[in-house]
Structure 1
Amino acid sequence: MFLKIKNIPSVSWSSDKPLNLKPKISTSFFLCFGLTLFGLGEGLLIVSASGASPWSVLAQGLYLNFGFSVGTITIFISFIVLLLWFPLNQKPGIGTILNALIIGLMIDVCIRYVQAPENYIYQILLGAFAVLTVGIGGGIYLVANLGAGPRDGLMIGLQKKTNLPIALVRAALEITVMSIGWYLGGTVGVGTLLFAFGIGPCVALGLFLVNKLFN
Protein backbone atom coordinates (compact mmCIF):
# COMPACT_ATOMS: atom_id res chain seq x y z
CA MET A 1 0.00 0.00 0.00
CA PHE A 2 1.30 3.46 -0.95
CA LEU A 3 0.22 4.83 2.45
CA LYS A 4 3.03 2.83 4.07
CA ILE A 5 5.81 4.34 1.90
CA LYS A 6 8.74 5.49 4.04
CA ASN A 7 11.42 6.18 1.42
CA ILE A 8 11.75 8.34 -1.70
CA PRO A 9 12.16 5.93 -4.66
CA SER A 10 14.98 6.23 -7.19
CA VAL A 11 14.33 5.99 -10.96
CA SER A 12 16.38 6.36 -14.15
CA TRP A 13 16.26 10.17 -14.12
CA SER A 14 16.91 10.58 -10.39
CA SER A 15 20.09 12.43 -9.43
CA ASP A 16 22.74 10.39 -7.62
CA LYS A 17 23.00 13.06 -4.93
CA PRO A 18 21.01 16.16 -3.90
CA LEU A 19 23.97 18.54 -4.22
CA ASN A 20 24.44 18.10 -7.97
CA LEU A 21 25.36 21.28 -9.81
CA LYS A 22 25.29 19.61 -13.26
CA PRO A 23 22.18 17.40 -13.30
CA LYS A 24 20.97 15.61 -16.43
CA ILE A 25 18.50 17.51 -18.62
CA SER A 26 15.81 14.92 -17.85
CA THR A 27 16.38 15.35 -14.11
CA SER A 28 16.11 19.13 -14.35
CA PHE A 29 12.99 18.83 -16.49
CA PHE A 30 11.14 16.59 -14.04
CA LEU A 31 12.26 18.75 -11.13
CA CYS A 32 10.81 21.92 -12.69
CA PHE A 33 7.73 20.10 -13.99
CA GLY A 34 6.97 18.68 -10.56
CA LEU A 35 7.51 22.02 -8.85
CA THR A 36 5.28 23.78 -11.37
CA LEU A 37 2.48 21.28 -10.69
CA PHE A 38 3.06 21.72 -6.96
CA GLY A 39 2.79 25.51 -7.16
CA LEU A 40 -0.19 25.32 -9.51
CA GLY A 41 -2.03 23.13 -7.02
CA GLU A 42 -1.25 25.49 -4.15
CA GLY A 43 -2.50 28.46 -6.16
CA LEU A 44 -5.64 26.68 -7.37
CA LEU A 45 -6.53 25.78 -3.80
CA ILE A 46 -6.41 29.45 -2.85
CA VAL A 47 -8.56 30.64 -5.78
CA SER A 48 -11.02 27.76 -5.29
CA ALA A 49 -12.32 29.77 -2.31
CA SER A 50 -12.74 26.49 -0.45
CA GLY A 51 -9.86 27.32 1.89
CA ALA A 52 -6.13 27.69 1.33
CA SER A 53 -3.52 25.04 2.09
CA PRO A 54 -2.21 25.07 5.69
CA TRP A 55 1.07 26.76 4.69
CA SER A 56 -0.85 29.31 2.62
CA VAL A 57 -3.15 29.88 5.59
CA LEU A 58 -0.02 30.71 7.55
CA ALA A 59 1.14 33.02 4.73
CA GLN A 60 -2.27 34.72 4.67
CA GLY A 61 -2.17 35.19 8.43
CA LEU A 62 1.27 36.79 8.20
CA TYR A 63 0.08 38.93 5.28
CA LEU A 64 -2.77 40.29 7.39
CA ASN A 65 -0.30 41.21 10.11
CA PHE A 66 2.75 42.35 8.13
CA GLY A 67 1.74 43.03 4.50
CA PHE A 68 3.59 41.85 1.33
CA SER A 69 1.93 39.42 -1.12
CA VAL A 70 1.01 35.87 -0.17
CA GLY A 71 3.52 34.54 -2.70
CA THR A 72 6.33 36.72 -1.33
CA ILE A 73 5.60 35.67 2.24
CA THR A 74 5.55 32.03 1.09
CA ILE A 75 9.12 32.50 -0.15
CA PHE A 76 10.14 34.07 3.18
CA ILE A 77 8.57 31.17 5.11
CA SER A 78 10.44 28.67 2.93
CA PHE A 79 13.81 30.12 3.87
CA ILE A 80 12.87 30.28 7.56
CA VAL A 81 11.88 26.60 7.51
CA LEU A 82 15.33 25.82 6.11
CA LEU A 83 16.77 26.75 9.50
CA LEU A 84 14.91 23.79 10.99
CA TRP A 85 16.89 21.47 8.71
CA PHE A 86 20.11 21.76 10.69
CA PRO A 87 19.14 19.50 13.63
CA LEU A 88 17.62 17.02 11.14
CA ASN A 89 20.82 16.74 9.04
CA GLN A 90 18.99 17.55 5.81
CA LYS A 91 21.05 18.67 2.79
CA PRO A 92 19.83 21.32 0.33
CA GLY A 93 20.29 21.30 -3.44
CA ILE A 94 19.22 23.15 -6.57
CA GLY A 95 15.66 21.93 -6.01
CA THR A 96 15.56 23.56 -2.59
CA ILE A 97 16.03 27.04 -4.03
CA LEU A 98 13.83 26.44 -7.09
CA ASN A 99 11.10 25.10 -4.81
CA ALA A 100 10.78 28.37 -2.95
CA LEU A 101 10.90 30.48 -6.12
CA ILE A 102 8.69 28.45 -8.49
CA ILE A 103 5.94 27.70 -5.97
CA GLY A 104 5.75 31.31 -4.81
CA LEU A 105 5.59 32.49 -8.43
CA MET A 106 2.86 30.00 -9.41
CA ILE A 107 0.73 31.01 -6.42
CA ASP A 108 0.82 34.66 -7.46
CA VAL A 109 0.06 33.73 -11.10
CA CYS A 110 -3.02 31.72 -10.07
CA ILE A 111 -4.27 34.45 -7.75
CA ARG A 112 -3.92 37.03 -10.55
CA TYR A 113 -5.28 35.08 -13.55
CA VAL A 114 -7.57 32.26 -12.37
CA GLN A 115 -11.14 33.07 -11.40
CA ALA A 116 -12.78 31.36 -8.44
CA PRO A 117 -15.82 29.15 -9.19
CA GLU A 118 -19.10 30.64 -8.00
CA ASN A 119 -20.76 27.27 -7.37
CA TYR A 120 -19.85 25.79 -3.97
CA ILE A 121 -19.69 22.23 -5.32
CA TYR A 122 -17.24 23.34 -8.02
CA GLN A 123 -15.17 25.09 -5.37
CA ILE A 124 -14.85 21.85 -3.40
CA LEU A 125 -14.07 19.85 -6.56
CA LEU A 126 -11.37 22.37 -7.55
CA GLY A 127 -10.01 22.18 -4.01
CA ALA A 128 -9.79 18.38 -4.18
CA PHE A 129 -8.13 18.57 -7.62
CA ALA A 130 -5.65 21.10 -6.24
CA VAL A 131 -4.63 18.80 -3.39
CA LEU A 132 -4.12 15.91 -5.81
CA THR A 133 -2.07 18.17 -8.12
CA VAL A 134 0.20 19.21 -5.25
CA GLY A 135 0.68 15.56 -4.25
CA ILE A 136 1.55 14.36 -7.76
CA GLY A 137 3.85 17.33 -8.31
CA GLY A 138 5.52 16.67 -4.99
CA GLY A 139 6.10 13.04 -5.88
CA ILE A 140 7.70 13.95 -9.22
CA TYR A 141 10.12 16.57 -7.92
CA LEU A 142 11.14 14.59 -4.82
CA VAL A 143 12.13 11.61 -6.99
CA ALA A 144 14.41 13.93 -9.01
CA ASN A 145 16.57 14.00 -5.83
CA LEU A 146 18.01 17.45 -6.40
CA GLY A 147 17.15 18.64 -2.92
CA ALA A 148 13.77 18.76 -1.26
CA GLY A 149 11.89 21.99 -0.78
CA PRO A 150 11.98 23.54 2.67
CA ARG A 151 8.68 22.00 3.81
CA ASP A 152 9.28 18.62 2.21
CA GLY A 153 12.82 18.51 3.58
CA LEU A 154 11.37 19.06 7.02
CA MET A 155 8.93 16.22 6.37
CA ILE A 156 11.69 13.86 5.19
CA GLY A 157 13.95 14.77 8.11
CA LEU A 158 11.21 14.14 10.66
CA GLN A 159 10.32 10.87 8.94
CA LYS A 160 13.91 9.66 9.24
CA LYS A 161 13.99 10.62 12.92
CA THR A 162 10.66 8.98 13.76
CA ASN A 163 10.57 6.17 11.13
CA LEU A 164 6.86 6.87 10.69
CA PRO A 165 5.14 6.69 7.25
CA ILE A 166 5.56 9.80 5.10
CA ALA A 167 1.78 10.25 4.90
CA LEU A 168 1.45 10.43 8.70
CA VAL A 169 4.40 12.80 9.21
CA ARG A 170 3.16 15.18 6.52
CA ALA A 171 -0.39 15.21 7.93
CA ALA A 172 0.90 16.10 11.41
CA LEU A 173 2.95 18.99 10.01
CA GLU A 174 0.06 20.38 7.97
CA ILE A 175 -2.40 20.28 10.87
CA THR A 176 0.05 22.11 13.13
CA VAL A 177 0.76 24.84 10.56
CA MET A 178 -2.95 25.18 9.78
CA SER A 179 -3.70 25.83 13.43
CA ILE A 180 -1.08 28.58 13.68
CA GLY A 181 -2.24 30.24 10.44
CA TRP A 182 -5.87 30.15 11.54
CA TYR A 183 -4.93 31.81 14.83
CA LEU A 184 -3.22 34.62 12.87
CA GLY A 185 -6.35 35.20 10.77
CA GLY A 186 -5.72 33.04 7.71
CA THR A 187 -8.67 31.57 5.77
CA VAL A 188 -9.60 28.04 6.79
CA GLY A 189 -12.26 26.08 4.93
CA VAL A 190 -13.15 22.66 3.58
CA GLY A 191 -10.23 22.89 1.13
CA THR A 192 -7.85 23.52 4.02
CA LEU A 193 -9.04 20.38 5.75
CA LEU A 194 -8.82 18.43 2.49
CA PHE A 195 -5.21 19.53 2.18
CA ALA A 196 -4.26 18.99 5.81
CA PHE A 197 -5.57 15.43 5.89
CA GLY A 198 -5.14 14.55 2.21
CA ILE A 199 -1.71 15.89 1.21
CA GLY A 200 0.20 13.13 3.02
CA PRO A 201 -1.61 10.32 1.18
CA CYS A 202 -1.44 12.31 -2.12
CA VAL A 203 2.34 12.77 -1.87
CA ALA A 204 2.70 9.06 -1.07
CA LEU A 205 0.50 8.29 -4.10
CA GLY A 206 2.65 10.55 -6.28
CA LEU A 207 5.80 8.71 -5.17
CA PHE A 208 4.11 5.35 -5.78
CA LEU A 209 2.96 6.30 -9.30
CA VAL A 210 6.34 7.70 -10.36
CA ASN A 211 8.05 4.55 -9.08
CA LYS A 212 5.60 2.33 -10.97
CA LEU A 213 5.85 4.30 -14.23
CA PHE A 214 9.64 4.60 -14.37
CA ASN A 215 10.83 1.35 -12.73
Structure 2
Amino acid sequence: MTMTTGDGVAVEGIPSLADTSILREPPSTARGVRTRAALVAAARAVFERDGYLEARLSDVAAEAKCSTGSFYTYFASKEEVLHAVLDLAQSELLHPGMPRLGDDEASPAAVIEASNRAYFEAYKRNAKLMNILDQVAAIDPKFRELRRRRSRAFCDRNARSLAQLQERGLADPELNPHQAARALSGMVGRMAYYTFVLGEENSLDDLVRHATRLWVNAVRIGSAG
Protein backbone atom coordinates (compact mmCIF):
# COMPACT_ATOMS: atom_id res chain seq x y z
CA MET A 1 0.00 0.00 0.00
CA THR A 2 1.30 3.46 -0.85
CA MET A 3 -0.21 6.26 1.20
CA THR A 4 0.78 9.68 2.52
CA THR A 5 -0.92 11.89 5.08
CA GLY A 6 -1.10 15.67 5.06
CA ASP A 7 0.99 17.71 2.67
CA GLY A 8 4.39 16.74 1.30
CA VAL A 9 6.48 17.79 -1.59
CA ALA A 10 7.59 16.08 -4.82
CA VAL A 11 7.46 12.33 -4.69
CA GLU A 12 6.83 10.18 -7.73
CA GLY A 13 3.56 11.23 -9.35
CA ILE A 14 3.19 14.28 -7.08
CA PRO A 15 3.54 17.78 -8.61
CA SER A 16 6.35 19.96 -7.32
CA LEU A 17 5.64 23.30 -5.71
CA ALA A 18 8.64 24.80 -7.50
CA ASP A 19 7.98 26.23 -10.94
CA THR A 20 11.42 25.60 -12.36
CA SER A 21 10.42 26.95 -15.76
CA ILE A 22 10.88 30.49 -14.45
CA LEU A 23 14.43 29.85 -13.21
CA ARG A 24 17.43 30.91 -15.25
CA GLU A 25 20.06 28.48 -16.44
CA PRO A 26 22.57 27.61 -13.68
CA PRO A 27 25.75 29.70 -13.73
CA SER A 28 28.66 28.24 -15.63
CA THR A 29 31.46 29.25 -13.25
CA ALA A 30 32.31 27.90 -9.81
CA ARG A 31 32.08 31.41 -8.37
CA GLY A 32 28.66 31.88 -9.92
CA VAL A 33 27.46 28.58 -8.49
CA ARG A 34 28.65 29.61 -5.02
CA THR A 35 27.03 33.06 -5.24
CA ARG A 36 23.71 31.67 -6.43
CA ALA A 37 23.72 29.04 -3.68
CA ALA A 38 24.45 31.73 -1.09
CA LEU A 39 21.53 33.81 -2.39
CA VAL A 40 19.13 30.87 -2.23
CA ALA A 41 20.19 30.04 1.33
CA ALA A 42 19.92 33.71 2.29
CA ALA A 43 16.46 33.99 0.74
CA ARG A 44 15.19 31.07 2.76
CA ALA A 45 16.65 32.53 5.95
CA VAL A 46 15.09 35.95 5.31
CA PHE A 47 11.71 34.52 4.26
CA GLU A 48 11.58 32.40 7.40
CA ARG A 49 12.71 35.27 9.62
CA ASP A 50 10.62 38.12 8.19
CA GLY A 51 7.86 36.35 6.26
CA TYR A 52 7.53 36.34 2.49
CA LEU A 53 5.46 39.51 2.30
CA GLU A 54 7.84 41.58 4.42
CA ALA A 55 11.07 40.17 3.00
CA ARG A 56 13.14 42.62 0.95
CA LEU A 57 15.59 41.72 -1.76
CA SER A 58 18.14 44.08 -0.23
CA ASP A 59 17.97 42.01 2.95
CA VAL A 60 18.47 38.82 0.96
CA ALA A 61 21.54 40.30 -0.69
CA ALA A 62 22.89 41.50 2.65
CA GLU A 63 22.33 38.06 4.19
CA ALA A 64 24.28 36.54 1.31
CA LYS A 65 27.01 39.19 1.72
CA CYS A 66 26.66 40.47 -1.81
CA SER A 67 25.18 43.49 -3.56
CA THR A 68 21.59 43.87 -4.73
CA GLY A 69 22.99 44.11 -8.23
CA SER A 70 24.50 40.66 -7.81
CA PHE A 71 21.09 39.35 -6.82
CA TYR A 72 19.64 40.46 -10.14
CA THR A 73 22.41 38.65 -11.97
CA TYR A 74 20.83 35.38 -10.86
CA PHE A 75 17.18 36.15 -10.10
CA ALA A 76 14.68 38.57 -11.57
CA SER A 77 12.36 38.81 -8.58
CA LYS A 78 11.43 37.66 -5.11
CA GLU A 79 9.06 35.14 -6.71
CA GLU A 80 11.86 33.59 -8.74
CA VAL A 81 14.20 33.15 -5.79
CA LEU A 82 11.33 31.63 -3.78
CA HIS A 83 10.94 28.93 -6.43
CA ALA A 84 14.69 28.33 -6.27
CA VAL A 85 14.33 27.88 -2.50
CA LEU A 86 11.47 25.42 -2.99
CA ASP A 87 13.35 23.52 -5.68
CA LEU A 88 16.31 23.07 -3.34
CA ALA A 89 14.07 22.14 -0.40
CA GLN A 90 12.28 19.29 -2.19
CA SER A 91 14.32 16.55 -0.54
CA GLU A 92 14.05 18.18 2.90
CA LEU A 93 10.28 18.39 2.72
CA LEU A 94 9.91 14.90 1.34
CA HIS A 95 8.70 12.27 3.75
CA PRO A 96 8.69 8.62 2.71
CA GLY A 97 4.96 8.06 2.85
CA MET A 98 3.55 4.60 3.30
CA PRO A 99 5.29 1.58 1.80
CA ARG A 100 3.45 -1.11 -0.13
CA LEU A 101 1.61 -3.35 2.29
CA GLY A 102 1.49 -7.06 1.52
CA ASP A 103 -0.24 -9.84 3.39
CA ASP A 104 2.99 -10.80 5.14
CA GLU A 105 3.98 -7.26 6.16
CA ALA A 106 2.97 -4.86 8.91
CA SER A 107 -0.67 -4.21 9.73
CA PRO A 108 -2.47 -1.25 8.10
CA ALA A 109 -2.49 0.52 11.49
CA ALA A 110 1.28 0.16 11.81
CA VAL A 111 1.84 1.51 8.31
CA ILE A 112 -0.45 4.49 8.96
CA GLU A 113 1.45 5.16 12.20
CA ALA A 114 4.80 5.10 10.40
CA SER A 115 3.55 7.47 7.73
CA ASN A 116 2.11 9.89 10.26
CA ARG A 117 5.38 9.93 12.18
CA ALA A 118 7.40 10.59 9.01
CA TYR A 119 5.06 13.43 8.06
CA PHE A 120 5.17 15.11 11.47
CA GLU A 121 8.95 14.84 11.60
CA ALA A 122 9.30 16.42 8.15
CA TYR A 123 6.86 19.19 9.06
CA LYS A 124 8.67 19.92 12.31
CA ARG A 125 12.01 20.26 10.51
CA ASN A 126 10.50 22.68 7.99
CA ALA A 127 7.73 24.42 9.93
CA LYS A 128 8.89 27.93 9.06
CA LEU A 129 9.00 27.14 5.38
CA MET A 130 5.59 25.47 5.55
CA ASN A 131 4.23 28.71 7.01
CA ILE A 132 5.74 30.61 4.08
CA LEU A 133 3.83 28.33 1.69
CA ASP A 134 0.58 29.41 3.33
CA GLN A 135 1.50 33.08 2.94
CA VAL A 136 2.35 32.74 -0.73
CA ALA A 137 -0.71 30.65 -1.53
CA ALA A 138 -2.90 33.38 -0.04
CA ILE A 139 -1.65 36.03 -2.48
CA ASP A 140 -0.50 34.19 -5.60
CA PRO A 141 -3.18 32.37 -7.64
CA LYS A 142 -0.62 30.46 -9.72
CA PHE A 143 1.16 29.17 -6.65
CA ARG A 144 -2.18 28.38 -5.02
CA GLU A 145 -3.08 26.23 -8.03
CA LEU A 146 0.26 24.39 -7.83
CA ARG A 147 -0.40 23.69 -4.19
CA ARG A 148 -3.98 22.61 -4.84
CA ARG A 149 -2.89 20.15 -7.54
CA ARG A 150 -0.19 18.70 -5.32
CA SER A 151 -2.57 18.32 -2.39
CA ARG A 152 -5.13 16.64 -4.63
CA ALA A 153 -2.51 14.22 -5.94
CA PHE A 154 -1.58 13.16 -2.41
CA CYS A 155 -5.23 12.70 -1.48
CA ASP A 156 -5.79 10.64 -4.63
CA ARG A 157 -2.94 8.34 -3.54
CA ASN A 158 -4.50 8.03 -0.08
CA ALA A 159 -7.87 7.30 -1.64
CA ARG A 160 -6.44 4.53 -3.81
CA SER A 161 -4.80 2.97 -0.78
CA LEU A 162 -8.01 3.20 1.22
CA ALA A 163 -9.94 1.62 -1.65
CA GLN A 164 -7.46 -1.27 -1.64
CA LEU A 165 -8.11 -1.80 2.07
CA GLN A 166 -11.85 -1.76 1.40
CA GLU A 167 -11.43 -4.38 -1.32
CA ARG A 168 -9.56 -6.58 1.15
CA GLY A 169 -12.26 -6.15 3.78
CA LEU A 170 -9.93 -4.19 6.07
CA ALA A 171 -11.74 -0.81 6.05
CA ASP A 172 -15.30 0.50 6.20
CA PRO A 173 -16.81 -0.34 2.80
CA GLU A 174 -19.40 2.44 3.02
CA LEU A 175 -16.85 5.26 3.06
CA ASN A 176 -16.21 7.32 -0.06
CA PRO A 177 -12.42 6.86 -0.22
CA HIS A 178 -11.77 10.30 -1.74
CA GLN A 179 -13.85 12.14 0.86
CA ALA A 180 -12.31 10.14 3.69
CA ALA A 181 -8.77 10.70 2.40
CA ARG A 182 -9.35 14.44 2.05
CA ALA A 183 -10.77 14.77 5.56
CA LEU A 184 -8.13 12.65 7.28
CA SER A 185 -5.17 14.12 5.41
CA GLY A 186 -6.45 17.60 6.24
CA MET A 187 -6.76 16.65 9.91
CA VAL A 188 -3.14 15.50 10.08
CA GLY A 189 -1.96 18.65 8.30
CA ARG A 190 -3.80 20.94 10.72
CA MET A 191 -2.49 19.02 13.73
CA ALA A 192 1.02 19.69 12.45
CA TYR A 193 0.25 23.37 11.79
CA TYR A 194 -1.18 24.02 15.26
CA THR A 195 1.82 22.38 16.93
CA PHE A 196 4.81 23.41 14.84
CA VAL A 197 3.66 26.79 13.48
CA LEU A 198 1.28 28.12 16.14
CA GLY A 199 3.28 26.60 18.98
CA GLU A 200 0.73 24.44 20.78
CA GLU A 201 2.41 22.13 23.27
CA ASN A 202 2.12 18.61 21.92
CA SER A 203 4.81 15.97 21.90
CA LEU A 204 5.61 14.20 18.67
CA ASP A 205 4.61 10.87 20.17
CA ASP A 206 1.23 12.26 21.25
CA LEU A 207 0.60 13.67 17.79
CA VAL A 208 1.45 10.36 16.15
CA ARG A 209 -0.64 8.33 18.59
CA HIS A 210 -3.76 10.49 18.30
CA ALA A 211 -3.53 11.02 14.54
CA THR A 212 -3.13 7.29 14.01
CA ARG A 213 -5.99 6.32 16.29
CA LEU A 214 -8.27 8.85 14.63
CA TRP A 215 -7.30 7.53 11.17
CA VAL A 216 -7.82 3.92 12.22
CA ASN A 217 -11.08 4.55 14.04
CA ALA A 218 -12.48 6.70 11.24
CA VAL A 219 -12.01 4.03 8.60
CA ARG A 220 -12.66 1.16 11.05
CA ILE A 221 -9.34 -0.64 10.74
CA GLY A 222 -9.46 -2.86 13.83
CA SER A 223 -7.21 -1.72 16.67
CA ALA A 224 -4.80 1.21 16.54
CA GLY A 225 -2.25 -0.90 18.15
State TM-score, norm by structure 1.
0.36
1 or 2, which has the higher helix percentage?
1
Quick check: which has more Rg, 1 or 2?
2
Q: Give the TM-score of the pair, scaled to structure 2.
A: 0.35
Higher-RCO chain (CA-CA 8 Å, sequence separation at least 6): 1
